[in-house]
Amino acid sequence: MSGFDGELRRELEAIRKGGLHRELRRVDSPQSPQIEIAGRTFLNFSSNDYLGLSNHPALKEAAIKAVEKFGAGAGASRLISGSLAPHHELEETLAAFKGTEASISFSTGYAAALGAITAIVGKNDIVILDKLVHASIVDAARLSGATLRIFAHNDSVDLEEKLLWAGNLPPVPGKAPKRILVVTESVFSMGGDLASLRGIADLKDKYGAWLMVDEAHATGLFGAHRRGLIEEFDVAGRVEVQLGTLGKACGAAGGYICGSRALIDLLVNRARSFIFSTAPVPAAAAAARAGIEVIQSAEGEVLRQHLWSVVDHLKSALIEAGWALSPIRSAIVPLLIGKEEQATAIAAALRERGVFVPAIRYPTVARGKARLRLTATAAHTISDVAALVNALTSTKALN
């Protein structure tokens, strides 16, 4: 045992030396603009609860009712006896919300990516990923056994080169023709920038590839019905696989795939993270469904408009304070710092001032591209924004 721990401690020491050590902080309050850590209240600009739904009465009530009617646990996987009414209701609501034929839910977005990609492509196929896609997609693509290619971030010229290369590969005798799957996020999780979905859809059509889009940071925020960036850019009919999480703007937990009936039926039969895993607790499915219902309602539009006003105030105050920011509007506002140690030091100084903002470092972003990732939510007020910018300004003066 001591040899084992000794080895691991050496690895931990190396992580610390690189300024990359992480640790958990226990939060003793619900997720909201004010969170409590170690007896102290912090102004929180770190959560992905973009519409403030995680603590919304309708979601809490849906969860409580589901517990009362269906118990705490699902008791089995979906294909055994765990496919409870709340799971089916969630999936019907999701498909109607996204305007697709069908949908399937998973216990997390990570599990959805893992299950879907490995079910759709295999050893004989090619997966082409944007350089900045989420770890769940990278892991899934690797696990699928497909040949992996990365295109430069949001770069259509480079994507076309990769598609040309894939299209020119000779067919393997006796094997089905190679499938080509392109995967991108719509709103990028660490930069807050938007994928050029129309250009990407044009290319995938031109080369006969399939397209999968991860709407984790766009669902609830973009599009006339708040479905996501696919709706905003009007490409729904050209995206074969829509992926998302129920843990961010939807306010609960879980992941989903939306698409054709054939896609969903195949995933029920083949997605290993769906098949070999206990069904999500009924409370999570019921809360997620209630979250989607709020997003679809008039209240959802009010929340989105308030979120954009928080974002706009935040960005103009930051620009006035001398930060260089992208003009793109999303709920994610990254402040590029560069060095890992410096980002960590600024985050620590902000905590001293009662402000909680995460320093995002390698391996979440590239080395030397450490940043403070500010996330605005509909639960923030304009005075929360002022307090954040004040704290940032006084912290920056010290650096």
Ligand X SMILES: *Cc1c(COP(=O)(O)O)cnc(C)c1O
Catalytic residues: 189, 217, 248
CB of 237 to ligand X, least distance (A): 23
Instruction: Give the C-alpha separation, 124 to 272, whole Å.
Output: 19
3-state class (DSSP) for residue 181: strand
- Of 256 and 392, nearer to ligand X (C-beta) is 256
Per DSSP, helices labelled H in 71-155 are: 85-98, 109-120, 135-144
Q: Are 295 and 339 in contact (CB under 8 A)?
A: no
Among 44, 46, 242, 245, binds ligand X (CB under 6 A): 245
Among 216, 279, 303, 350, binds ligand X (CB under 6 A): 216
Stretch in the footprint of ligand X (CB under 6 A) among 168-176, 209-217, 286-294, 377-385: 209-217
- Of 154 and 395, nearer to ligand X (C-beta) is 154
Instruction: Residue 283: name the closest of 246, 256, 243 by CA.
Output: 246
The single-letter code of the amino acid at 206 is K
Instruction: Give the C-alpha separation, 28 to 184, whole Å.
Output: 35
- Of 250 and 264, nearer to ligand X (C-beta) is 250
- Of 93 and 108, nearer to ligand X (C-beta) is 108
Largest Cα span, the chain: 67
Torsion, Cα 53 56 62 63, to 10 degrees, reads 80
CB of 296 to ligand X, least distance (A): 20
Instruction: Give the C-alpha separation, 159 to 165, whole Å.
Output: 10
Per-residue interface string for the shown chain with ligand X, residues 264-303, x marking contact by CB under 6 A: ----------------------------------------
- Tell me how many residues contact ligand X (CB under 6 A): 14
Instruction: Give the C-alpha separation, 389 to 320, whole Å.
Output: 10
- Of 227 and 313, nearer to ligand X (C-beta) is 227
Q: What is the per-residue burial (b if ≥16 Cβ within 10 Å, else e) of 102-116? A: bbbbbbbbbbbbbbb
50 binds ligand X per the rule CB under 6 A: no
219 binds ligand X per the rule CB under 6 A: no
CB of 254 to ligand X, least distance (A): 7
Q: In what order do the strands lie in the sheet with 210-214?
A: 102-106, 255-259, 241-245, 210-214, 180-185, 126-130, 147-151
Distances (CA, A) of 21 to 25, 45, 169, 255, 341: 13, 21, 43, 28, 10
247 binds ligand X per the rule CB under 6 A: yes
Beta carbons within 10 angstroms of residue 56's beta carbon: 21
* 103-142: contacts with ligand X (CB under 6 A): 108-110, 113, 134, 136
Among 189, 219, 344, 375, binds ligand X (CB under 6 A): 189
CB of 396 to ligand X, least distance (A): 27
- Of 223 and 251, nearer to ligand X (C-beta) is 251
Among 82, 223, 255, 280, binds ligand X (CB under 6 A): 255
- Of 286 and 385, nearer to ligand X (C-beta) is 286
Beta carbons within 10 angstroms of residue 271's beta carbon: 24
CB of 62 to ligand X, least distance (A): 18
* 135-174: contacts with ligand X (CB under 6 A): 136
Stretch in the footprint of ligand X (CB under 6 A) among 69-77, 102-110, 192-200, 222-230: 102-110
CB of 133 to ligand X, least distance (A): 7
Instruction: Give the C-alpha separation, 287 to 58, whole Å.
Output: 8
CB of 301 to ligand X, least distance (A): 23
The single-letter code of the amino acid at 129 is L
CB of 60 to ligand X, least distance (A): 19
- Of 82 and 228, nearer to ligand X (C-beta) is 228
| 260: phi then psi, degrees, rounded to nearest 5 | -75, 165
Stretch in the footprint of ligand X (CB under 6 A) among 29-37, 63-71, 212-220, 280-288: 212-220
214 binds ligand X per the rule CB under 6 A: yes
Q: Residues in the site for ligand X, rule: CB under 6 A?
A: 108-110, 113, 134, 136, 185, 189, 214, 216-217, 245, 247, 255
